[in-house]
Amino acid sequence: MATRRRMLLKVIILGDSGVGKTSLMNQYVNRKFSNQYKATIGADFLTKEVQFEDRLFTLQIWDTAGQERFQSLGVAFYRGADCCVLVYDVNVMKSFENLNNWREEFLIQASPSDPENFPFVVLGNKVDVDGGNSRVVSEKKAKAWCASKGNIPYFETSAKEGFNVDAAFECIAKNALKNEPEEEIYLPDTIDVAGGGRQQRSTGCEC
């Protein structure tokens, strides 16, 4: 309908198939977990109103298909993103190793104006599985990678148990907000794909 929006913050969740992207989104927005989520085809998003320093924002969280074969769709879905969440499964090494691909692919496809400082957040999900005994990616290793990529904030989560999910998304929202200009902005319906004119600042998360 009307195009004036109260600060829409667009967040994209990326990561290998089956790491729990849909579950994280639903846990955060609907406080629900289901074993019966289907593999995401194409893309979808949920929105949540969040309050931050007395201001209301709409967080638009995009859930995408995890198979790399669908990455070429990213061009349509990633544009105008304010923050990118990279998710891996702490029990699957490959999903961690792929974080770098996801990050680079995102930067290529979303082509933010300041890729060096574009806010990412990394989530190591499924820490609940088997009481942590099947874990193959250590927290230390994950944090080291995050540090090497410009101090990306890192959270360990369990979408199933709801563990750390709120904290993670709070940080995600803050980082997305930092990506926005300070003044209330007018978002036209058609976002300039080049993203010119939208200033970027900020680096890591203080939370």
Partner 1 sequence: MHETDIHDLSDDADYAASQQQGSASIMRSDSGRQSSSSEPDGAEVVYSKDNVTIHPSQLASERISGRLKLIKQGSALFMTWIPYKGQGSNARLSEKDKNLYTIRAVPLTEVRSVRRHTPAFGWQYIIVVLSSGLAFPPLYFYNGGVKEFLATIKQHVFIVRSAEDANVFLINDFQNPLQRTLSSLELPRAVSVVSDQSVSIDVGESPLDESQESSSRNVRDGRLSTLQYNGRTRLKPQDPARDLSIHVLEKFSLVTKFARETTSQIFGETHNNGFGAIEKRRYNHQSSIDHPEKASNSAEKAPELVPVAADPLEFDEAALIWGKPRQPPLGPEEWVSFLDSEGRVTDSKALRKRIFYGGVEHILRKEVWAFLLGYHAYDSTYAEREYFSVLKKSEYETIKNQWQSISPEQAKRFTKFRERKGLIDKDVVRTDRSLPFYDGDDNPNVNILRDILLTYSFYNFDLGYCQGMSDLLSPILFVMGNEADSFWCFVSLMERLGPNFNRDQNGMHTQLFAISKLVELLDSPLHNYFKQQECLNYFFCFRWVLIQFKREFEYEKTMRLWEVLWTHYMSEHLHLYICVAILKRYRNKIMGEQMDFDTLLKFINELSGQIELDAVIRDAEALCICAGENGAASIPPGTPPSLPIDNGLLLYSQQDDEVL
Binder to partner 1 among 33, 52, 70, 163 (CB under 8 A)?
Answer: 70
Neighbours of 194 (CB within 10 A): 11
CB closer to partner 1 out of 66 and 124: 66
Nearer to partner 1, 33 or 45 (CB): 45
Q: Does 113 bind partner 1 (CB under 8 A)?
A: no
Least gap, CB of 172 to partner 1 (angstroms): 18
Task: Note whether 101 binds partner 1 by CB under 8 A.
Answer: yes
Site string for partner 1, 175-194 (x = CB under 8 A): --------------xx----
Residue from the set 55, 56, 68, 185 that interacts with partner 1 by CB under 8 A: 68
Q: Kindly compute the dihedral angle of the four CA atoms of residues 63, 66, 67, 68, in this order, to the nearest 10 degrees.
A: 90
Buried b (16+ CB within 10 A) or exposed e, 9-42: bbbbbbbbeebbbbbbbbbbbeeebeeeeeebee
69: three-class secondary structure by DSSP: helix
Is the CB of residue 99 less than 8 Å from the CB of residue 86?
Answer: yes
Stretch in the footprint of partner 1 (CB under 8 A) among 29-37, 138-146, 167-175, 199-207: 29-37
